[in-house]
């Protein structure tokens, strides 16, 4: 009887620990849609007068997983070039607006959207690409119908959005180029790093328990989210960007991603004065130049 009680107690504690840490991963605190608009405007990353003048179209697509994905399409008459932006965790599509002018000046149609469980999109949880890569594939389907089968489509992702862009490109050869800005290399490694940095805890047993609970809550296995493995199969040109001073996702992961891309053109840009997701804002002219050079070198513009 004592053994059974001890076993039951340990089981309950394990479930609780697993749930607490899994919940921090799959149910992140999120900024509101209008809140992020205000933040970007106040910080000067969204120029309201300019943004309001851009022709745009609301698009709501129905994911195969039973929720809606909210997006905005910014068309350029006569252009067959398209770029899709994926924002970072906790944020909304307004986090992508700061990058848009680079590509508008190059004649790209632009599509920005709220990831699953973010902004105005649906979904019960965040899965770091496990389901999101298929939502991005759905957007590509819509763009090809809208622009035409000869559309030249690329993606740009920031942080979690970059990881999603990589995972998507591995299953969708229609993508002609990928720009990833500060992706993690492997979700297990990233969570292990954050567990140590934020809580001073080892991976075992905490991350293992969280992974079990994540499978129960979402179907996602942390081990299956690995951009550093996915990048090995990508043929399309890739530009890897990462701030050297990033202490949220270590810059070593960018080098690992770059080295793991074994087929097709690749380029890496590591600004030394940037932290997490600040490479563009701290180096706007150079960021613009690097992207233009990458696109020119690969005959995209």
**Cβ contact 222:21 at 8 Å:** no
Query: Whole-model pTM?
Result: 0.96
What's the mean pLDDT in 36-53?
96
pLDDT at 5: 72
Strand partners, 69: 61
In a shared domain, residues 207 and 147: no
Among 49, 46, 146, CA closest to 87:
46
In a shared domain, residues 137 and 258: yes
In a shared domain, residues 18 and 79: no
Using DSSP, state whether 18 is helix, strand or coil: helix
By residue range, what is the domain housing residue 9? 1-30+191-223
In a shared domain, residues 8 and 111: no
In a shared domain, residues 61 and 165: yes
In a shared domain, residues 253 and 159: yes
Examine the fold and report which residue of 200, 223, 246 is the final residue of a domain before the chain moves on. Answer: 223
DSSP letter for each residue of 82-106: EEEEE--TT--GGGGHHHHHHHHTT
Banded pLDDT at 9 (limits 50, 70, 90): low
Q: How far is CA 145 from each of CA 148, 153, 160, 249, 282, rounded to the nearest angstrom?
A: 5, 12, 27, 36, 37
Q: How many domains does the chain have?
A: 2
What's the mean pLDDT in 33-39?
98
Q: What is the DSSP letter of 232?
A: G
Q: How far is CA 260 from each of CA 44, 110, 227, 240, 263, rounded to the nearest angstrom?
A: 36, 29, 9, 12, 9
In a shared domain, residues 57 and 76: yes
Q: What is the DSSP letter of 27?
A: S
What's the mean pLDDT in 218-232?
98
In a shared domain, residues 122 and 152: yes
pLDDT at 6: 64
Residue ranges in the chain assigned as alpha helix (H):
2-26, 33-42, 48-53, 97-104, 132-147, 160-171, 187-199, 206-218, 227-230, 252-260, 279-282, 284-297
Give the pLDDT confidence of 137-151 residue by residue, as tens digits. 999 999 999 999 999
Q: State how far the Cα of 95 lies from the Cα of 97, in Å rounded to an integer.
A: 6
| pLDDT surpassing 80 at residue 7 | no
Give the pLDDT confidence of 72-104 residue by residue, as tens digits. 999 999 999 999 999 999 999 999 999 999 999
Give the pLDDT confidence of 226-236 residue by residue, as tens digits. 999 999 999 99
What's the mean pLDDT in 267-294?
98
pLDDT at 10: 60
């Amino acid at each position: 009887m004592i053994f059974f009680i001890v076993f039951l107690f340990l089981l309950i504690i394990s479930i609780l620990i697993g749930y607490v840490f899994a919940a921090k991963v799959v149910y992140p605190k999120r900024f509101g849609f209008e809140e992020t608009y205000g933040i970007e405007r106040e910080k000067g990353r969204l120029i309201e007068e300019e943004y309001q003048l851009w022709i745009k179209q609301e698009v709501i697509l129905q994911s195969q997983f039973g929720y809606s994905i909210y997006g905005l399409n910014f068309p350029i008459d006569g252009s067959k070039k398209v770029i899709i932006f994926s924002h970072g965790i906790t944020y909304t599509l307004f986090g992508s607006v700061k990058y848009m002018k680079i590509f508008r000046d190059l004649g790209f149609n632009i599509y920005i959207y709220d990831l699953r469980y973010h902004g105005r999109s649906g979904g019960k949880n965040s899965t770091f690409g496990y389901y999101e890569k298929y939502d991005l594939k759905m957007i590509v389907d819509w763009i090809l119908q809208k622009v035409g089968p000869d559309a030249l489509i690329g993606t740009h992702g920031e942080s979690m959005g970059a990881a999603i862009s990589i995972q998507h490109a591995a299953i969708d050869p229609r993508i002609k180029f990928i720009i990833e800005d500060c992706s993690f290399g492997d979700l297990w490694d990233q969570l292990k790093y954050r567990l140590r940095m934020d809580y001073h805890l080892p991976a075992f047993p905490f991350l293992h328990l969280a992974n079990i609970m994540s499978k129960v809550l979402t179907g996602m296995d942390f081990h299956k989210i690995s951009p550093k493995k996915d990048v090995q199969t990508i043929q399309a040109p890739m530009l890897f960007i990462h701030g050297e001073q990033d202490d949220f996702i270590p810059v070593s992961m960018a080098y690992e991603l770059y080295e793991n891309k074994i087929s097709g053109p690749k380029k890496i840009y590591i600004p030394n004065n940037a932290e997490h997701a600040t490479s563009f804002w701290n180096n706007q002219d150079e960021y613009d130049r690097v992207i233009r050079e990458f696109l020119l070198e690969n005959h995209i513009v």
